[in-house]
Amino acid sequence: MENNYNNIPVEKFQFATRNDLLHDSKFETKPVSYFQGAFKRFSKNKGAVVGGIVISILVLFAIFAPFFTPFTPAYYDMSYAYVTPKLPALDGKNIDFWDGCRVKSTNNVGYLKDLALAQETGREVIKNGEYTLSETDEGKTYTYRYDTYYGVGFGKYKVISQEEFDDIQRYQNETGRQVLYPVVKVKERPTLEKNKYDANIYYKMENPKASVIRPKLDKDGNIQPNYWKYEVGQESSLIAPYNSLRIEGEEGVEEKGKNYHYVYGRKVDGGIEIRAEYYEYYTYQHSQVLKDGIEEPNFIFGTTETGKDIFACLAYGARFSFIFSIVVAAVNFIVGVIWGSISGYYGGKIDLFMERFAEILGAVPTIIVITLLKYHMGSASQVLVLLIAFFATGWISMAGRTRMQFYRFKNQEYVLAARTLGARDSRIMFKHIFPNGLGTIVTSVALVIPSMIYTETSFSYLGIINLEAGMITSVGTLIAAGQRSITANAGYVALFPCMFLVLLMLSFNLFGNGLRDAFNPSLRGTED
């Protein structure tokens, strides 16, 4: 069908205006720098962003956490070994993990001992006083949540000076907190050596000569205290004067028309023998004597087999790991980039000599280097040994990657053009070639940091390097302690350092991949 253009009606025609004419418009946009474009590409990678956030959190933890705990890696207290994590902010929230308790299954004697301690001190040694009772072939089994802080009880009888005895009385009067409890006469204590000095036994016993001490209950099934007491006004020379807070009250106790006071200290050679509840004695020691900022025993992540605070050790260990890895990575980056750029750019005999030297040096295992350094450096710092060992060979991989990038780009057209125009070698190397290989190099640096941390952690975990010195510790040392604690039903010792290491390695890998794509010059202009 042919179109008849000659018969088009006049009313179909319209005059065109200037605005209807199409012209090329000016392309209005702001110039984007290399790093601005890289940041935009990085922001589009959700995995890398999440990894960066996690790394930031871990770094902030390493920087600031040591300032929020009075404990240090040098601190330890064997009486509080393997106490479970406790967070006071969660008291009353019925969250079992952070309540300072662990599940305990014991027989009737063990239950009675914990019950006796709870009744004397008024502490919740048995959480909420609740337990479940089950019958087994060996008899009754009591299962309950046992408070690892209060369960320490009194430990052994302690001998202190008269001055400390008087100071504890002052502390009790000022604070109203009971530290000292009545003692038991020597002749009424257990006879076996292993039980004789057990200050938790304050009650009458069924058989003082038995290996396992069983409380003697009254006709109503109650535990009977066996405190040493004296009639008011008839103090003995063996009794230490006591005039402060008493659990029986200032008026004493009345029996058969006479008033008695309990004995809170027995004079012995070297001082006064006392029964001190360790929880309160610990508080007194740190707040009044040591004045080290520790108010009460409270370990957010629990303690190790030697009573070290896991939170403090992890915080200081993380801080050391980050500082150590960043310093090593920075030095290895500078040395590796300079070495690799010279080798890759000039090639020939220079490259041959430099590559053979790096290969020979890199063929020596790090563990051999550390062993030789420890042997020759004697009592030198283990940190210094580790630094020298990582500096000796750590730059080689960075030099290899840089060399590869220079071989890749040194014969490109823009490099030949720059050389033709008279650009110096240093300008060509670091102005034209190096920025194009920066993506791979930066990714390598991002992955070197967790690699260094992992290697240092492995060496300290295996005991090859011992970083336990003063304010320095290692995540690997904590993981090693956690491995030993698994058989002691204290898996939380390994939980927190392992979580730190896993999050660190995973986050750095995601972060490094994001950096690789962000600094890839072939992707420039694809961020929109």
pLDDT tens string 282-318:
999 999 999 998 989 999 999 999 999 999 999 999 9
pLDDT tens string 475-503:
998 998 888 888 778 889 999 999 999 99
Q: Which of 48-62, 98-112, 402-416 has the lowest mean pLDDT?
A: 402-416
Final residue belonging to a domain, choices 255, 290, 325: 290
Instruction: Summarize the confidence of residues 386-401 as an average pLDDT.
Output: 87
Helix (H, G, I), strand (E, B) or coil at 446: helix
The per-residue pLDDT for 17 is: 65
The per-residue pLDDT for 43 is: 84
Same domain flag for 509 and 361: yes
Same domain flag for 265 and 135: no
Same domain flag for 286 and 180: yes
- Residue with more model confidence, 527 or 261: 261
Give the CB-side neighbour count of residue 340, counting CA atoms within 13 A.
26
Same domain flag for 124 and 251: no
pLDDT tens string 265-283:
999 998 999 999 999 999 9
Final residue belonging to a domain, choices 242, 260, 290: 290
Q: Fill in the amino acid letter for 177.
A: R
Within a domain: residue 99? yes
pLDDT tens string 31-47:
667 677 777 888 888 88
Final residue belonging to a domain, choices 290, 316, 339: 290
Same domain flag for 141 and 191: no
- Asked if pLDDT for residue 28 goes beyond 80, the answer is no
- Give the Cα-Cα-Cα angle 100, 103, 108 (nearest 5 degrees): 120
How far apart CA 292 and CA 420 sit, in angstroms, is: 70
Within a domain: residue 71? no
Domain count, the chain: 3
To the nearest 10 degrees (0 to 180), the angle between helices 310-346 and 438-462 is 140
Same domain flag for 438 and 483: yes
The number of beta carbons lying within 10 Å of the beta carbon of residue 457 is 26
**CB-based contacts of 81, cutoff 8 Å, min separation 6:** 303, 304, 305, 306, 307
The per-residue pLDDT for 29 is: 65
DSSP secondary structure of 370-428? HHHHHHHHTTS-HHHHHHHHHHHHTHHHHHHHHHHHHHHHTTSHHHHHHHHTT--HHHI
Within a domain: residue 171? yes
Residue 27 pLDDT level (bands cut at 50, 70, 90) = low
Number of H helices, E strands in the chain: 17, 10
Instruction: Summarize the confidence of residues 48-56 as an average pLDDT.
Output: 92
Same domain flag for 316 and 284: no
Q: Tell me the two tokens of residue 511.
A: 């972060």
What percent of the chain has a predicted confidence (pLDDT) above 70? 92
- Asked if pLDDT for residue 89 goes beyond 90, the answer is no
For 500, list phi and psi in degrees, rounded to 5.
-60, -45
Q: Tell me the two tokens of residue 459.
A: 């060496």
Within a domain: residue 528? no
Tell me the residue range of the domain where 230 lies.
152-290
- Asked if pLDDT for residue 150 goes beyond 90, the answer is yes
Closest CA to 518 of 54, 216, 510: 510
Within a domain: residue 241? yes
Give exposure, 318-350, as e/b (b: 16+ Cβ within 10 Å): bbbbbebbbebbeebbebbbbbbbbbbbeeeee
Contact 285, 80 (CB under 8 A): no
Residue with tokens 């087994």: 136
Within a domain: residue 42? no
**CB-based contacts of 29, cutoff 8 Å, min separation 6:** none
pLDDT tens string 225-252:
999 988 887 777 778 777 777 778 777 8
- Asked if pLDDT for residue 526 goes beyond 60, the answer is no
Same domain flag for 448 and 375: yes
How far apart CA 392 and CA 370 sit, in angstroms, is: 10
Instruction: Summarize the confidence of residues 451-466 as an average pLDDT.
Output: 87
Same domain flag for 120 and 214: no
Contact 467, 383 (CB under 8 A): yes
Q: Which of 77-91, 381-395, 428-442 has the lowest mean pLDDT?
A: 428-442
The number of beta carbons lying within 10 Å of the beta carbon of residue 273 is 20
What pTM value is reported for the model?
A: 0.83
Same domain flag for 157 and 144: no
What percent of the chain has a predicted confidence (pLDDT) above 90? 41
Q: Tell me the two tokens of residue 490.
A: 């204290």
How far apart CA 488 and CA 505 sit, in angstroms, is: 28
DSSP secondary structure of 189-249? S-SSHHHHTBTT--B-BS-TTSSS--BPB-TTS-B-B---EEETT---TTBPP--S--TT-
The per-residue pLDDT for 36 is: 76
Within a domain: residue 78? no
The per-residue pLDDT for 204 is: 93
Same domain flag for 262 and 411: no
The per-residue pLDDT for 309 is: 94
- Residue with more model confidence, 174 or 440: 174
Same domain flag for 167 and 105: no
Closest CA to 514 of 418, 436, 447, 458: 447
- Asked if pLDDT for residue 472 goes beyond 60, the answer is yes
Phi-psi region of 470 (alpha: psi -120 to 50; beta: other; left: phi over 0): left
Q: At 376, which CATH number?
A: 1.10.3720.10
Within a domain: residue 441? yes
Contact 110, 140 (CB under 8 A): no
| Cα dist from 18 to 21, 22, 23, whole Å | 6, 9, 10
